[in-house]
Amino acid sequence: MSKPLETLVRRAAVTVTAASAIVVTGAVPAMADVPEDWSDPAEVSWLFMLALIVGIPAVLGVIITVLTVLPSMLRGEGLRSETKEPAEWVGGPSEDAPLADQNSGETGGASARW
Q: How far apart are CA 55 and CA 63, in angstroms?
A: 12
Asked if the model's pLDDT at residue 59 lies above 90, the reply is: yes
Between the two ends of the chain, the Cα-to-Cα distance in Å is 52
pTM above 0.95, yes or no: no
Q: Which 8-state DSSP code applies to residue 54?
A: I
Q: According to the per-residue pLDDT averaged within each range, which of 22-36, 41-55, 99-113 is highest? A: 41-55
Q: What is the pLDDT of residue 114?
A: 58
Q: What is the pLDDT of residue 18?
A: 93
> In the chain, pLDDT over 70 holds for what percent of residues?
71
Tell me the per-residue pLDDT of 4-33, one tens digit each, with 9 for 90 and over: 888 889 999 999 999 998 888 876 666 667
Contact between 78 and 72 under an 8 Å Cβ cutoff? The reply is yes
Contact between 9 and 1 under an 8 Å Cβ cutoff? The reply is yes
Q: Which 8-state DSSP code applies to residue 53?
A: I
Q: Indicate the domain borders of the chain.
A: 44-76
